[in-house]
Chain A
Amino acid sequence: DQQVKQNSPSLSVQEGRISILNCDYTNSMFDYFLWYKKYPAEGPTFLISISSIKDKNEDGRFTVFLNKSAKHLSLHIVPSQPGDSAVYFCAASARETSGSRLTFGEGTQLTVNP
Chain B
Amino acid sequence: EPEVTQTPSHQVTQMGQEVILRCVPISNHLYFYWYRQILGQKVEFLVSFYNNEISEKSEIFDDQFSVERPDGSNFTLKIRSTKLEDSAMYFCASSVFYEQYFGPGTRLTVT
A binding-site residues for B, Cβ under 8 Å: 1, 32, 34, 36, 41-46, 49, 89, 91, 93, 95, 97-107
Contact = CB atoms under 8 A, between A and B. Distances in A.
23 contacts: A32-B98, A34-B98, A34-B99, A34-B100, A41-B105, A42-B104, A43-B93, A43-B104, A44-B91, A45-B102, A46-B101, A49-B99, A89-B43, A93-B98, A95-B98, A98-B97, A98-B98, A99-B31, A99-B50, A99-B55, A100-B48, A102-B45, A104-B43
Contacts of B58: 101
Interface residues on B, range: 20 to 34
Interface of B: 4, 6, 30-31, 33, 35, 42-45, 48, 50, 55-56, 58, 91, 93, 95-105
Contacts, number: 66
B42 A43 contact: no
A44 B43 contact: yes
Contacts of B99: 34, 46, 49
Given A44-B102, A98-B31, A99-B55, 19 more contacts: A36-B102, A41-B104, A43-B4, A43-B6, A43-B93, A45-B102, A49-B98, A49-B99, A91-B43, A93-B98, A97-B55, A98-B95, A98-B98, A100-B48, A101-B56, A102-B45, A102-B100, A104-B43, A106-B42
A42 B48 contact: no
Interface on chain B toward A: helix, strand, loop, or mixed SS? strand
Contacts of B31: 98-99
A99 B95 contact: yes
B88 to A, nearest CB: 13
A101 B46 CA distance: 9
Contacts of B43: 44, 89, 91, 102, 104
A28 to B, nearest CB: 18
Given A99-B48, A99-B56, A101-B45, A43 B98 contact: no
Nearest to B50: A99
